[in-house]
Structure 1
Amino acid sequence: MVTRLSTKFMNICISSMCKSKQLLKAEVVLIDAIKLGVLPDTVTYNTLVDAYYRFVSIDAGYTVLNRMKEAGINPNVVSYNSVMSGAVRKCLLSKPLQLFDEMLQSGIHPDVWSYNILIHCLFRLGRPDEGYRVFKDIRHGFVPYVLTYNAMINGLCKARRLADARRVLREFCDYGYEPNAITYTTVMKCCFRCGRLEQGLEILSEMRRKGYTFDGFAYCTVVAALVKTGRIEEVDEIAGKMTSNGLVPDLASYNTMINLFCRQGKFDEALKLVDEIEKQGLKCDQYTHTIIIHGLCKIGNFVGAEKHLDYMKSLGFGFNLVAFNCMLDCLGKAGHIDQAVKVFDSTEVKDSFTYTILVHNLCRAKKFLFASKLLVACLKSGWCVYCMCLCMVWLYPHRIARLRIVSRLHVN
């Protein structure tokens, strides 16, 4: 006699096959079980739906839903949630909306997971008002969970609707829920992105009062905001808190802080952080060195910047074209156009940005004839279009010079 235990055993076998990506063997197990009189259930097909959308395609997962119906087993909310979730992971954001409507037409009641997926998709599709309306409508059926509130707050923050996000956060608390670290960190980051630094720091203080800890990236976000406002002493305090919580800043965090110090002209502070990176046993990457070179150029230390480019080569990084372009641009903007030309001629490695930077600065210096020659070289290198447009903007009042450049380009 076939028992329920037999179906359960079959589901375990199919699940194991699916987890190891052996979908053909899972199908063989299903066929053999049916031949022996063991009938599949909703769990069987849901397992296959999940596996097919993960390892094959969304369409393949949806096909299993149809097979499920043909077998006389009605898909449930878990079935549809699996396919909807898979569509989101594949960035097919309109598909979950269609599946959600199909689920409603089939008489299947969505759950919290369904609504979270729907809200997430609407925000990602640039339809925040619809996402917010869905959020308000679902409260008539059931009270949203913490996950729903977090999804809503995250969507509003990405849409830079800080006021709405903070209103949802207050409502969150009014319902008796306790926001978690993810909730607070999401709103805090949004405050910083929207330039509401004080509001972001207020949320940080509230997190501290409630005893929450947050990850290294969140610390880095706070540090960046403090550096922007010149509150360096508080940066040290945050770094101390970070260390006491067992978190060590990663290289991305250090690069962010170095970049902010360089942009503010606090080059000594930036170099201290470089020393600290080495003490922590980390190694600077190309981005770190590019920040330093750009910082040296900003303070007019072009000799130091050039030496640092050579130093990068000695470390095995090779030629850094991004750093080279930064130095070229800073030389031109500082009025050292002749030196910029020498630096340009010193390397054979160039890209469209290299040509564009020098053309732009030559035009600024009113060296239009030289700019025209460079445009011809740019044309031969295949980088012409943007440089030409840029040059024409500068030469608009200078009709004769503009005609000379056009004739040169036609000749070549």
Structure 2
Amino acid sequence: MGSFGCSPDAVTYNTLINGLCRVNEVNRGHELLKEVRTRGEPKPDVVTYTSLILGYCKLGKMYDASVLFDEMINSGIKPNAITFNVLIDGFGKAGDMLSALSMYEKMLFLGYFPDVVTFTSLIDGYCRTGQVNRGLKLWHEMSARNVGPNVYTYSVLINGLSKENRMHEARDLLRQLKCSDIVPKPFMYNPVIDLFCKAGNVDEANEIVAEMEEKKCKLDKVTFTILIIGHCMKGRMFEAISIFNKMLSIGCAPDTITVNSLISCLLKAGMPNEAFHIKQTVSQDLDLFVPSLKRTIPVGTNMDIPMAV
């Protein structure tokens, strides 16, 4: 640009640095910032620093992100809410909740209001570090501050509760979701459906599936596989076959885990004809979905899945 008598401005440098960070070339972006600082113009701003801080956070390099944050402050550049959210999320994903909470407190001290991104990042961090009760406390604080949750807030808390086998609390969150305007995703429901299936309560799992469909949330491969195995474990083989057929009818491609599990359970239940039919269905009808699947399903598949028959 310089050879054409055109000097790059702050927007140009910010675009370059942001682009480098997006492709994980954060060190090159940092070198560009150093070049700008050495030249003295154009002046880096909060966007420049936040892009680099985000880049380091995505790489898990929280020390480098912290150094840049301090450099920004010492340069007289005031961080904005996005800067704080980026750092809170980065520390949370790194499992450093003391630093995440410290950033949250600085954010409040500077007069910024935490938003759904702030709270979701903190809740996610607490759930990742096994502090789900603290995550729940923040969930209630959100409500007190009139900050509504989004799909990811629900997801991280439901997932955290599910990992601790707190299925009834996770189920309560799904009931709240049912009454909200949030458009849900299957990954929000799957952990809870899995818990109820493993507990032998497939009726409640089916009720959750009905709520999914009521909210126009399509079941995915994981949902179907959980349901098929759950019904097999309960000895409900024909229901499992029906779920498998529904999976095919809506164009959701099963994988080898789904098919092998169903065939194995049918054989254990003394239903070889049905197992053979499933294998034939895979061989004849699934080329559009998974061309290699039919070559990987032996009729004698034997997987260790407990069943009540």
TM range (shorter): 0.7 to 0.9
Measured after TM superposition, the shift of residue 289 of structure 1 is 1.6
Q: Does 1:173 align with 2:108?
A: yes
Q: Which has the higher contact order (CA 8 A, sep 6+)?
A: 2
Mapped to 2, the partners of 1:352 and 1:339 lie a distance apart of: 22
Measured after TM superposition, the shift of residue 113 of structure 1 is 0.8
Q: Does 1:137 align with 2:71?
A: yes
Kindly report which structure 2 residues correspond to 1:38-187, keeping only aligned pairs within 5 A, or say none. 67=1, 69-108=2-41, 109-142=43-76, 143-187=78-122
Larger Rg: 1
Mapped to 2, the partners of 1:289 and 1:231 lie a distance apart of: 19
TM-score by length of 2: 0.76
CA contact (8 A) 1:94 1:121 kept: no
Mapped to 2, the partners of 1:125 and 1:279 lie a distance apart of: 39
- Secondary structure, counterpart of 1:139 in structure 2: helix
Q: Does 1:324 align with 2:259?
A: yes
Which residue matches 2:244? 309
Mapped to 1, the partners of 2:212 and 2:222 lie a distance apart of: 14
Which residue matches 1:259? 194
Mapped to 1, the partners of 2:271 and 2:170 lie a distance apart of: 41
In the comparison of the two structures, how many residue pairs are matched? 288
1:221-249 deviations in Å (ceiling 9; x for gaps): 3334345443626743x456545553343
1:28-79 deviations in Å (ceiling 9; x for gaps): xxxxxxxxxxxxxxxxxxxxxxxxxxxxxxxxxxxxxxx2x22334323222
Measured after TM superposition, the shift of residue 216 of structure 1 is 2.3
Backbone CA RMSD of aligned residues: 3.6
Aligned residue type for 2:29: P
TM-score by length of 1: 0.59
CA 1:213–1:343 in structure 2 vs 1: closer, same or farther (change >3 Å)?
A: same
Measured after TM superposition, the shift of residue 360 of structure 1 is 8.7
Mapped to 2, the partners of 1:318 and 1:130 lie a distance apart of: 43
The answer to which of 227-236 and 93-102 deviates more is 227-236
1:167-210 deviations in Å (ceiling 9; x for gaps): 21122223333222211111111212222100101111111111
Aligned residue type for 1:270: A
Kindly report which structure 2 residues correspond to 1:267-286, keeping only aligned pairs within 5 A, or say none. 267-286=202-221
1:266-298 deviations in Å (ceiling 9; x for gaps): 322110012223334454343322221122244
1:99-149 deviations in Å (ceiling 9; x for gaps): 222222322332111111111122233322111222233222233221211
CA contact (8 A) 1:165 1:187 kept: yes
CA contact (8 A) 1:254 1:273 kept: yes
Mapped to 2, the partners of 1:258 and 1:234 lie a distance apart of: 10
Q: Which runs of 5+ in 2 are unaligned?
A: 284-291, 305-309
The answer to which of 159-168 and 253-262 deviates more is 253-262
Measured after TM superposition, the shift of residue 153 of structure 1 is 1.1
Q: Does 1:209 align with 2:140?
A: no
Mapped to 1, the partners of 2:58 and 2:297 lie a distance apart of: 35
* Higher share in helix: 1
Mapped to 1, the partners of 2:19 and 2:36 lie a distance apart of: 16
1:79-99 deviations in Å (ceiling 9; x for gaps): 210111122334443431232
Which residue matches 1:199? 134
CA contact (8 A) 1:289 1:312 kept: yes
CA 1:160–1:330 in structure 2 vs 1: closer, same or farther (change >3 Å)?
A: farther
The answer to which of 80-89 and 136-145 deviates more is 136-145
CA 1:216–1:124 in structure 2 vs 1: closer, same or farther (change >3 Å)?
A: closer
Aligned residue type for 1:186: S
CA contact (8 A) 2:178 2:215 kept: no
Mapped to 2, the partners of 1:76 and 1:314 lie a distance apart of: 56
Mapped to 2, the partners of 1:135 and 1:331 lie a distance apart of: 59
Mapped to 2, the partners of 1:96 and 1:329 lie a distance apart of: 54
Mapped to 2, the partners of 1:164 and 1:299 lie a distance apart of: 46
Mapped to 2, the partners of 1:275 and 1:295 lie a distance apart of: 16
